[in-house]
Amino acid sequence: MSQLVRGVIARGKGAPVEVTTIVVPDPGPGEAVVKVQACGVCHTDLHYREGGINDDFPFLLGHEAAGVVESVGAGVTDVAPGDFVVLNWRAVCGNCRACLRGKPWYCFATHNATQKMTLEDGTELSPALGIGAFVEKTLVAAGQCTKVDPSARAAAVGLLGCGVMAGIGAAINTGGVTRGDSVAVIGCGGVGDGAVAGAALAGATTIIAIDTDDQKLEWARGFGATHTVNARGIDVVKAVQDLTGGNGADVVIEAVGRPETYKQAFYARDLAGTVVLVGVPTPEMTIELPLLDVFGRGGALKSSWYGDCLPTRDFPMLTALYQQGRLDLDAFVSEEIALDQVEEAFGKMHTGGVLRSVVIF
């Protein structure tokens, strides 16, 4: 029997989101229905509602969530009703070329639920990042559910489902930050501060946080930034060079997704440094770089999807660090909000004052 629940959808490009009734089918083979307890508001949800990712409206937004498995379909053995799980948007297949080559974070056969959640009139919804979790209950593939310590706070560990994981993983997994490194992070929202926290966990000794908002910079210090730079009206590349003995940073992480910050990231690295691109640009964005500059700089230019994470390895590990007081996930949660405040939370991404708004059910 399908169930009727409340959820947040984006109907068309740029239109404000709305709370409406969603039809959640029973889980089919390999699927699970999860009672969502908390779901963070990520900038990628705003990209969806602005039509910046694709045009498959209407979207069921939300993808950074933790909750409890309510029911599972045939053949599901890894999770059972009652399990506390963090949802992931990349359930790796184990069999594709990427998986077999030991790089499952590039899995191109990601399994999401095959059935669709719909509106009451039968309109099929596109779940954001294959999840859709601004909803009381959601249908996902069982492989999208990763069990973590059930005593952990849902609002905190749910953030591992996207932004904070993307940031920590960009630093540790993609950037390979190690003890003694200098790291610059451009954009200190939930993702960028995840990168700051990841760099600190990895033992970086210089961590430069860069943002246009002083409040964000103050929070970045709390996550381990050793230096902060307000990017307004200054030469960001020079600022990073000045703080790294003229060299540029060993690892530069871009967590904004704009042409000017992509360009800053490219030039702010040490000649042998690594640039990690995490911010998501829109399809029309471009930058021009002299080929001599591309050629003349060694190191590596990488992008990072989901922090090159393995949810089954990384979610329980980071939850353990959180429980031990070594990773302050609570500090990412600026406010707990209700389902009908998602549009307001999008507004705060521009006006500031909030690191992560988290919808609590």
Ligand X SMILES: NC(=O)c1ccc[n+]([C@@H]2O[C@H](COP(=O)([O-])OP(=O)(O)OC[C@H]3O[C@@H](n4cnc5c(N)ncnc54)[C@H](O)[C@@H]3O)[C@@H](O)[C@H]2O)c1
Please, what is the angle between helix 190-202 and helix 214-222, to 10°? 30
Say how far residue 142 (Cα) sits from the centre of its chain: 20
Alpha carbon distance, N-terminus to C-terminus of the chain: 22
Name the residue among 333, 306, 145 with its Cα closest to residue 222: 333
Distance separating alpha carbons of residues 160 and 318, to the nearest angstrom: 8
The Cβ of residue 71 has, within 10 Å, a number of other Cβ atoms equal to 17
User: Which CB atom, from 28 or from 259, has the smaller least distance to ligand X?
Assistant: 259
Which strand (E) or helix (H) includes residue 342? Answer: helix 342-351
Q: Which stretch binds ligand X (CB under 6 A): 100-108, 134-142, 241-249, 278-286?
A: 278-286
The Cβ of residue 101 has, within 10 Å, a number of other Cβ atoms equal to 9
> Is 57 an interacting residue with respect to ligand X (CB under 6 A)?
no
Distance separating alpha carbons of residues 214 and 61, to the nearest angstrom: 29
Kindly identify the residues of this chain, within the stretch 106-125, that bind Zn ion according to CB under 5 A: 107, 109
- Least Å from the CB of residue 264 to ligand X: 8
Q: Are 157 and 86 in contact (CB under 8 A)?
A: yes
User: Which CB atom, from 42 or from 197, has the smaller least distance to ligand X?
Assistant: 42
Residues 306, 315, 322, 346: which binds ligand X (CB under 6 A)? 306
Kindly identify the residues of this chain, within the stretch 238-277, that bind ligand X according to CB under 6 A: 255-258, 260-261
Distance separating alpha carbons of residues 322 and 160, to the nearest angstrom: 11
User: Which CB atom, from 137 or from 216, has the smaller least distance to ligand X?
Assistant: 216
> Is 90 an interacting residue with respect to ligand X (CB under 6 A)?
no
Residues 93, 119, 301, 360: which binds Zn ion (CB under 5 A)? 93
Of the CA atoms within 13 Å of residue 281, those in its CB half-sphere come to 14
> Is 304 an interacting residue with respect to ligand X (CB under 6 A)?
yes
Binding mask 152-181 for Zn ion (x = CB under 5 A): ----------x-------------------
Kindly identify the residues of this chain, within the stretch 149-168, that bind ligand X according to CB under 6 A: 162-163, 166
> Is 133 an interacting residue with respect to ligand X (CB under 6 A)?
no
> Is 213 an interacting residue with respect to ligand X (CB under 6 A)?
yes
Say how far residue 149 (Cα) sits from the centre of its chain: 20
Kindly identify the residues of this chain, within the stretch 225-244, that bind ligand X according to CB under 6 A: 231
Residues 42, 61, 229, 278: which binds Zn ion (CB under 5 A)? 42
Q: Which residue ranges make up the site for ligand X (CB under 6 A)? A: 42-44, 47, 162-163, 166, 186-192, 210-213, 216, 231, 255-258, 260-261, 278-280, 304-306, 349
